[in-house]
Amino acid sequence: MTILVTGGAGFIGSNFVYYQLKQHPEDRVVCLDKLTYAGNLATLEDAMKQKNFRFVKGDIADRARVFELFREEKFDIVVNFAAESHVDRSIEDPGIFLTTNILGTQVLMDACRAFGIGRYHQVSTDEVYGDLPLDRPDLFFTEETPIHTSSPYSASKASADLLVLAYHRTFKLPVTITRCSNNYGPYHFPEKLIPLIISRALNDETLPVYGKGENVRDWLYVEDHCSAIDLVIRKGRVGEIYNIGGHNERTNLQVVKTVLKELNKPESLITYVTDRPGHDQRYAIDPTKIHNELGWLPATKFDDGIRRTVEWYLANRPWWENILKGDYQHYYERMYAKR
Ligand code: NAD
Ligand code: DAU
């Protein structure tokens, strides 16, 4: 089989590339990635050494380029990770989120229709469900929870999901969708909470916590997300949505304190800053469907996953230090200076 992985030079996409190459060495993996600020070819260095891997630089919203690639490769499965993924950037400038996340998805599905495909898989997010109140720990997102988005990012991801379901119903495109909670692990870009905290704490810099740090996220080690998607693309039912999460809820403050303990750094580095506009309060996934239908369960406990993640950032300093040296400096200044 030949699998197209879009966005494979980013955080989850690259972890998925390595997961596929390891678990299914008989398959070929082609990665299409625009190499935006979040894409990093250094991440795919080891994959490039393998014969059954090909990297192609390109934009999923570039119809001519995408159609040319589909004509060349005759894909069996497409897994679409490519996206603008950071909520704060979507608040600063929503336009590119609509282009990549919605129109890019449409272009990929049009190519699937034109050239035929065994499966189109859309990597979505729990953020399409909006948020849950902090004082109702009994509530969880199921696949039936209505779409109710908060940020331009989540609105663009929800729009793409609706388009995917429309292509299934109208054109009989064989699609699946997964909606996962917050991931963490190796190759996570340091604009996101956990790698931002690790990289800044290692440099003894202040750690910006939005509001009071009481918002809750449901954390999943990235390899567990990869194993779930792998099951869904091979055994999941066409036309279905599967939630992915491991019942691992933590307040942001708990997460930051866990990381600091692992790094042996003082809590005095924590600084409370102005809250994110429209900040979702709590995410919490009910993963019953994927467990009952496909037998999926997460393998990594939060404390082990955080330890492995911290070890990875310690062992791979050049990977993130190179990022911090570039445009990231301006990004941090722009986003945090006046907070
Ligand atoms: P990321 O920002 O780390 O990586 C995105 C990748 O997509 C980058 O390599 C970038 O270069 C590429 N890309 C961006 N625009 C592109 C375009 N127009 N054409 C081709 N490539 C393009 O993102 P991530 O955190 O790895 O997220 C991957 C996917 O998973 C996204 O669809 C996101 O919505 C979803 N998701 C993320 C999380 C999470 O916690 N990070 C959780 C659930 C779902
Ligand atoms: O739930 C899945 C989503 O998780 C994905 O769809 C998104 O692509 C991914 O970026 C992530 O979104 P969040 O907004 O939850 O992740 P982020 O790491 O940006 O923030 C996590 C929490 O930490 C959130 O409540 C905001 C807070 N935060 C974040 C940053 C960057 C801080 O307090 N300080 C910060 O500096």
How is the chain split into domains, by residue range?
Answer: 2-187+220-247+277-302
Whole-number Å distance, alpha carbon 267 to ligand 1 midpoint, is 31
- Report whether CATH 3.40.50.720 matches the domain 2-187+220-247+277-302: yes
Give the residues across from 183 on adjacent strands: 220
Query: Which atom of ligand 1 is closest in space to residue 59's alpha carbon?
Result: 19
Residues with a CB atom less than 6 Å from ligand 1: 6-7, 9-13, 33-36, 38-39, 59-61, 81-85, 100, 104, 123, 125, 157, 180, 182-183, 189
Residues with a CB atom less than 6 Å from ligand 2: 85-87, 125-127, 181-182, 192-193, 196, 208-210, 215, 217, 252, 276, 283
DSSP 141: B
Query: Any catalytic annotation for residue 73?
Result: no
Q: Which two tokens stand for residue 216?
A: 């809750």
| Tens digits of pLDDT across the chain (339 residues) | 999 999 999 999 999 999 999 999 999 999 999 999 999 999 999 999 999 999 999 999 999 999 999 999 999 999 999 999 999 999 999 999 999 999 999 999 999 999 999 999 999 999 999 999 999 999 999 999 999 999 999 999 999 999 999 999 999 999 999 999 999 999 999 999 999 999 999 999 999 999 999 999 999 999 999 999 999 999 999 999 999 999 999 999 999 999 999 999 999 999 999 999 999 999 999 999 999 999 999 999 999 999 999 999 999 999 999 999 989 999 999 999 988
Task: Give 259-309 as a DSSP string.
Answer: HHHHHT--GGGEEEEPPPTT---B--B--HHHHHHH-------HHHHHHHH
Query: Any catalytic annotation for residue 153?
Result: yes
Residue 169: HSE in the Cβ half-sphere, 13 Å Cα cutoff = 6
Q: Please pick, among 129, 153, 283, 313, the residue that the annotation labels catalytic.
A: 153
